[in-house]
Amino acid sequence: MTIRFIALDAMAECPPGMLDRIVGCLDTAAAGIVPRLGLDRVDVVVAPTPARWLIPGWNLNAYAHGIARLTIGVDTMDLDAWTPSWSEQLTTTLAHELHHLRRFRGPGPHDTFGANLLAEGLAQCFQEEVGCPTPNYALAVRGPRLSALAGLARDAWAETRYDHNRWFYGDRSDPAWPWSGGYSLGYELVRRYLATRGMTASEAATLSAKEAWPVLAPILETLAVEQRDLP
């Protein structure tokens, strides 16, 4: 297992010792995450990030840059003031992004809406698999709004030209596109898929959107109906 953690803070934005504590936490967490995915040769960059870029309700953000590198941007607030706890946020985020990185190595680029929806759902289910709580963005959207998104997803599944930001980050000018809609739909869709197939998110790490579609399509139909009348 070759996972390098690289802390960057050229302007000394973080309190003294903060990045050392973060790297120590991530290194410990990686020991329980990486073997499930069979990963090696990964660089994890940790650096301060502006507050406006943080995940809502969290003290960090993260992004997987292809097959070998991911970046975790962290709030410069004292770690002990983070909510949820800093160790929980770091562990669950590392799990989420490493699952993405594993999928970049196969089945490959997420070039369709369906591939991205599947990838996000799998990453969230993997967070649960390694013992982390279900993230807020997985549960943010329920009821009629999720039903509407499930209906739209059926037609958009194979699309390569879709509005990714609208699906996953919402549109403040249009309540039909809530924040985290794509994450919530992906989570519920994949959670049911894995239960149906008797699989874990790590076992399904190389599952392609095309391969999964025959099982996912009726799950989307069910979600569209079930969620319609929920509060």
* pLDDT score at 124: 99
CB burial string 158-181: b at 16+ within 10 A, e below: eeeebeeeebbbbeeeeeebbbbb
Domain limits of the chain? 3-104, 113-226
* pLDDT score at 110: 81
* pLDDT score at 1: 60
Please list the ranges in the chain whose pLDDT falls under 70. Answer: 1
pTM passes above 0.85: yes
pLDDT tens for each residue of 64-115: 999 999 999 999 999 999 999 999 999 999 999 999 999 999 987 789 999 9
User: What secondary structure does DSSP assign to the chain, as a single string?
Assistant: --EEEEE--TT--SPTTHHHHHHHHHHHHHHHHHHHHT--SEEEEEEE--GGGSPTTSSEEEEE-TTSEEEEEE--S-GGG-SS-HHHHHHHHHHHHHHHHHHHTTT----SHHHHHHHHHHHHHHHHHTTPPPPHHHHS--THHHHHHHHHHHHHTT-SS--HHHHHH--TT-TTS-TTHHHHHHHHHHHHHHHHHT--TTTTTT--HHHHHHHHHHHHHHHHHHTTT--
